Structure 1
Amino acid sequence: MGDTDAGSKWKVIIATFASVLLVTAIISVIVAATYNRARSEVVSTSKAVEAICSPTRYKATCQHSLSKANTTDHRKLIEAAITVAVGDVRAVLAVLLEAAKDPVTKGAFSVCRDVLARAVRDLRRSVGKVGGAFADAARAREYVSDLRTWLSAVVANQETCVDAFRNTTGDAGERMKRLLKTARELSSNGLAMVTDLSEYVGAFRLEKGGGRKMVVKEGGAFVGRRLADTASLKPSIVVAKDGGGDFKTINEALASLPKRNNDSFVVIHIKAGVYSENVEIPEGLNKIMFVGDGPSATRLTGKRSVAGGYQTYYTATLAISGEDFLGKDLGVENTAGPEGYQALAVRVSGDRSILHNVRMDGYQDTLCADTHRQYYRNCTVTGTIDFVFGNGLALFQDCTFITRKPGPGQECVVTAQGRSDYNSNDAFIIQNSRFTAELAFLAVRPMIASYLGRPWKEMSRTIIMESEIGGFIEPEGWAPWVGTFGLDTCFYVEYENRGPGANTTGRVTWKGIHSLKGEQINSWTGGVVYGGDDWIRDSGVPYVPTMMQVKGN
């Protein structure tokens, strides 16, 4: 690639950064303007700015972006915020072009390009949702749920961009942090405004400490018609490795589809066989359904890893970026082994994704529950270090987490949830599931230390309830990340679990360890946390929106 082409490429990336800043400014101001218009509080510029910035985490950034706006006109307030934001990007263009010469740094920039493009799209669609929370009272809960999910994903994707520079040389990572400082603060402010807005419209209220208050839907397991009987499905496309279908590979099948799909589900039947290919459901290709012949019969395998020269984000054997994905009766594996370090089997980034009876095998970072709303039912995940991690709002029901024997000198941790903003709706909720270990792990003496989770990000949040925990889990239960990072600000809950590892008397006593009961724990059931769960109910996948009342607890 020549210098001109390289320069053009990075200018496109910078333009993406500019878009993030621009649209975050728009969403922050529009949310606040709508909020205050409804309350009839905007009577002067100073009061307008004060009211707009009052619920935000970064008040100075909010006020600075509007400091020169001598008006209460919403359009002019938007222009003022945009001017400040875009100016930050222009100042660092030369720095980024210079940093992009390093190969490892180029990989980090590629991650930023992709995740920030997603952030821009989430921000843009958020703008159109704000008014709906006021205009349509019957759907206010749904609108607010969408807004909080999308803005939480914006915050998470910006974190992913910064994290991509962790192993780069020089000061590119620090400079990237400075570049995104305003965007990250504006995104956090927009999320805070939406959370505050949610109280006003009566959709739901985020309580201090992470709980919500809302009427819990009644009902037990829901089984619809579409997937209740796999044999009754009529596939749109058949993939068969032996040539007995429409395509021999999954990627060929996906390539045959239009680049965007938002209408009806495309059912792809993947027949028994081992498919050695890295597969991505791209953003915009929505409502894709993968149906295999069983987790041990239909298997996708890949071996990309950080040790092999890939960014963690790009190592997934199966990456799901499109929305409303549904995967059933599949096995997905990353075969890089413990020596590959971070090596994903599955990354789920698309909103309203469902995995049912899917087995995910790997070692470090097996499943990245990356962003947006996700639901897992009867799934199995195997691994060693942080083998379920990410920033999404993910509910696991009737799943099995199997700890494997790690590499020399390594400890094992099941979860590493990555919530980084107090107002984010992200969480891992594990209900009526099992924490167990493979025989090779249990045979090691002395026993290898293994934990339920650790705080990858400052506001890490994981709730484990009505589940069976094996005796291989350390009595402390939870492990620190580095030093005291996140120990006071994480949100970890264990409720009515069972098994030899469920005894909490020896647990760590961080401020971030919480004990919930009654309405507090009910607020973490699927019928509440999703703010609208029709996308699960309509799928036909077994689902319980309430506490399960598991026998033996």
Structure 2
Amino acid sequence: MGDSKSRVAVFAGIAAVLMLAAVIAAAVLFSRNSEEKHDTGKPGVGTTSKAVKLVCSPTDYKETCEKTLAGANTTDPKKLIEAAFNATVGSITEVLRSSTLLKKAATDPSTKGAFDVCDEVLENAVDDLRSSIQKIESLDAGKAKAYVADLRTRLAAVGDDQETCVDAFENTTGDTGEKMKDLLKTAKEMASNGLAMVTDLSKILGTLQLSKVLGSGGGGASGARKLMTEEYIDRRILQVVELKPTMVVAKDGSGQFKTISDALKTLPMKNNETLIVISIKAGVYEETVILPKKVNKVVLLGEGPTKTVITGNLNFAAGVKTYHTATLAVNADEFIAKDLTIENTAGSEGHQAVALRVSGDQAVLYNVNIFGYQDSLYAHKYRQFYRGCAISGTIDFVFGDSLAIFQDCTFVVRKPGPNQACMVTAQGRIDTRSPGGFVLQKSRITAEPELLSTKPAVKVYLGRPWKEMSRTIIMNSDIGGFIDPTGWSPWAGTFAIDTCYYAEFENQGPGSGTSGRVTWKGIKKITPQIAESWTGGVAYGGDSWIKTAGVPYVPTMMQV
């Protein structure tokens, strides 16, 4: 173990040196470019063009990128990236204006419901872009890894929200959905370009002035030390917080509030700096609970999954858009839930019916039951961590595009409706650079007795690719024998079977054999090193938010 740590430290030091070398090389390049400026001190057209091409070089939509930045009269790549983000804000804002006009013209209730979803998620996309601009303005190479992880998370979410808007128009009448897709085409390309810009860390660092990259005190040696000690060899001791109730919800009237929603209404609608712990006493709370965006650091603390239950039955069959069917919708960051149950009781006849939707960053759930049928858990976007949770359902019952790690969780497959098959996961990554992916780590895939006794047997799969770059890794877990030997189900025809990323690593149980698995190009055989890269200590780009949540957590590989 000691030798392993030494090797990690050596490799970290090498990485730091290489990163600084890249920064220095980029700084020299831009220094040379600056010599081409006119006597006025303003950049020449050729110089600006070179800077734009450099910033746009890692993007997939280079023509859109270069057109976006054509009028930016600067050679400072940092400002060019900010300009690209600002232009994307403008593009999405224009879509929102058009959406308002189209919504007024719509007569179909389902179409109006889709516009309601778009209004919400596109506003969230604009917020994420503005947050990204602020991060670029304060980018510090000493915290490069964490900064880039945050930026990638936010920019991937911008794409996810636009995709959520388009998805809301499924099964609506008329051509409004196609109109919205056309309106978002350029904005989606611009969002993808922004994600590409920040994914290549060395190029991002190379766009900053060397003195700023190395810090205000900034010699190269001190910068290197800061980079190594703060980022690659993080030895900080994290303090686990004690969860003392801020307020109490009790259905019997013994607390300050009788409903969770009433308690949430009293919270400040702004970024909160301290934990707000809402103790929820035993009882069945029949309500739709929505935690608003920016009401951060809220903890819902139950008395146990069998005692504290939040329940609802909103569903797609009743005319509610999937996004808005959640019994509990979490839109804020740094959310924690412990010791309770969240359920949607609409049943298989309700079709899409979400129990929990998490649309906030750095969410932690421990000892939480998430019960439903189709689409039980909508792990929508950002970073999420689940420990010791039980999640039940039928079709795609864990779906979304977050980077979600499930440790020591139980996935329970239920009996579906007539002529239906079951899929545990339906991961929805849409961009190759998105950090999104589902990781099932030392977990269990089981089934209710009612499903196991069904004749003929129900087809059950580990997952299917909801979106083109769908990604799921199952490792060190126990897989029940009821899972179809082929393992993974197609979504429709050959869609995404070459571009998805599905891996199984050192699992056990009667359903874990891989000899009969589908042989798509997207089925991967991963090494122990790759498996390690999907642990929380690596994949999240910083996991202090889990360590301070006061829940069991292993940042490395776990054995069954």
TM range (shorter): 0.7 to 0.9
The verdict on how the C-alpha distance between 1:500 and 1:223 changes in structure 2, with shifts beyond 3 A counting, is farther
Larger Rg: 2
The verdict on how the C-alpha distance between 1:493 and 1:187 changes in structure 2, with shifts beyond 3 A counting, is same
CA distance in 2, matches of 1:200, 1:90: 30
For 1:71-110, what aligned pairs fall within 5 Å after superposition? Answer: 72=75, 82=87, 85=91, 89=95, 96-97=102-103, 99-110=105-116
Shift of 1:511: 0.6
CA distance in 2, matches of 1:341, 1:97: 25
CA distance in 2, matches of 1:224, 1:64: 48
Task: Point out the more displaced range, 159-168 or 99-108.
Answer: 99-108
Other-structure match for 2:160: 156
Shift of 1:344: 0.3
Other-structure match for 1:185: 189
Residues 199-240 of structure 1 show CA distances to partners (whole Å, capped at 9, x for unaligned) of 6649xxxxxxxxxxxx99899xx997436xxxxx43111111
Letter in 1 for 2:426: A
Letter in 1 for 2:117: V
| Alignment partner of 2:305 out of 295, 300, 306 | 295
Shift of 1:96: 2.0
Shift of 1:97: 5.0
- Relative contact order: is structure 1 or structure 2 higher (C-alpha 8 Å, sep ≥ 6)? 1
The secondary structure found in structure 1 opposite 2:432 is: coil
Other-structure match for 1:346: 356
Other-structure match for 2:383: 373
Q: Does 1:174 align with 2:189?
A: no
Letter in 2 for 1:272: A
Shift of 1:523: 0.7
| Alignment partner of 2:315 out of 285, 305, 314 | 305
Q: Does 1:60 align with 2:66?
A: no
Letter in 2 for 1:180: L
The secondary structure found in structure 1 opposite 2:398 is: strand
Letter in 2 for 1:63: E
RMSD over aligned CA atoms reads 2.8
The secondary structure found in structure 2 opposite 1:329 is: strand
CA distance in 2, matches of 1:52, 1:420: 22
Shift of 1:482: 0.6
Other-structure match for 2:228: none
The verdict on how the C-alpha distance between 1:300 and 1:165 changes in structure 2, with shifts beyond 3 A counting, is same
The verdict on how the C-alpha distance between 1:129 and 1:279 changes in structure 2, with shifts beyond 3 A counting, is same
The verdict on how the C-alpha distance between 1:362 and 1:88 changes in structure 2, with shifts beyond 3 A counting, is closer
For the 8 Å contact 1:216–1:527, the answer to whether it is kept is no
The verdict on how the C-alpha distance between 1:94 and 1:36 changes in structure 2, with shifts beyond 3 A counting, is farther
Shift of 1:301: 0.5
For the 8 Å contact 1:236–1:268, the answer to whether it is kept is yes
CA distance in 2, matches of 1:501, 1:77: 48
| Alignment partner of 1:128 out of 120, 127, 134 | 134
Letter in 1 for 2:279: H
Any unmatched runs of 5+ in structure 1?
A: 1-34, 203-214, 228-232
Shift of 1:244: 1.1
Shift of 1:375: 0.3
Letter in 2 for 1:163: D
| Alignment partner of 1:465 out of 466, 475, 478 | 475
Residues 124-173 of structure 1 show CA distances to partners (whole Å, capped at 9, x for unaligned) of 0111112444x341x11111111011001111111001111112111111
Other-structure match for 1:8: none
For 1:429-444, what aligned pairs fall within 5 Å after superposition? Answer: 429-444=439-454
Residues 498-540 of structure 1 show CA distances to partners (whole Å, capped at 9, x for unaligned) of 0000000000010101111132211111000000000001111
Letter in 2 for 1:490: C
Letter in 2 for 1:104: S
Shift of 1:99: 4.2
The secondary structure found in structure 2 opposite 1:493 is: strand
Other-structure match for 1:482: 492
CA distance in 2, matches of 1:410, 1:362: 16
TM-score normalised according to structure 2 size:
0.83
The verdict on how the C-alpha distance between 1:218 and 1:144 changes in structure 2, with shifts beyond 3 A counting, is closer
CA distance in 2, matches of 1:52, 1:431: 37
For the 8 Å contact 2:197–2:204, the answer to whether it is kept is no
Identity of aligned residues (%): 57
CA distance in 1, matches of 2:146, 2:76: 29
The verdict on how the C-alpha distance between 1:380 and 1:223 changes in structure 2, with shifts beyond 3 A counting, is farther
For the 8 Å contact 2:96–2:119, the answer to whether it is kept is no
Other-structure match for 1:116: 122
Q: Does 1:51 align with 2:54?
A: yes
Task: Point out the more displaced range, 389-398 or 55-64.
Answer: 55-64
Shift of 1:272: 0.5
Residues 425-452 of structure 1 show CA distances to partners (whole Å, capped at 9, x for unaligned) of 1110110000000000000111100000
The verdict on how the C-alpha distance between 1:249 and 1:85 changes in structure 2, with shifts beyond 3 A counting, is closer
Other-structure match for 1:505: 515
Letter in 2 for 1:107: G
Other-structure match for 1:519: 529
The verdict on how the C-alpha distance between 1:476 and 1:69 changes in structure 2, with shifts beyond 3 A counting, is same
Letter in 1 for 2:273: D
Provide runs of 4+ in structure 1 moved above 6 Å: 35-38, 73-81, 215-219
CA distance in 1, matches of 2:202, 2:500: 23
The secondary structure found in structure 2 opposite 1:342 is: coil
For the 8 Å contact 1:217–1:528, the answer to whether it is kept is no
Shift of 1:57: 0.9
For 1:536-547, what aligned pairs fall within 5 Å after superposition? Answer: 536-547=546-557
Task: Point out the more displaced range, 513-522 or 364-373.
Answer: 513-522
Any unmatched runs of 5+ in structure 2?
A: 1-24, 35-46, 207-230
The verdict on how the C-alpha distance between 1:182 and 1:480 changes in structure 2, with shifts beyond 3 A counting, is same
For the 8 Å contact 2:238–2:544, the answer to whether it is kept is no
CA distance in 2, matches of 1:245, 1:338: 36
The verdict on how the C-alpha distance between 1:77 and 1:280 changes in structure 2, with shifts beyond 3 A counting, is closer
The secondary structure found in structure 1 opposite 2:166 is: helix
Shift of 1:104: 1.4
Residues 30-77 of structure 1 show CA distances to partners (whole Å, capped at 9, x for unaligned) of xxxxx9768517551321222121110111211222345676477799
For the 8 Å contact 1:271–1:292, the answer to whether it is kept is yes
CA distance in 2, matches of 1:260, 1:63: 36
CA distance in 2, matches of 1:423, 1:198: 15
Q: How many residues align?
A: 497
Residues 91-143 of structure 1 show CA distances to partners (whole Å, capped at 9, x for unaligned) of 9579625643432111111101111111111110111112444x341x11111
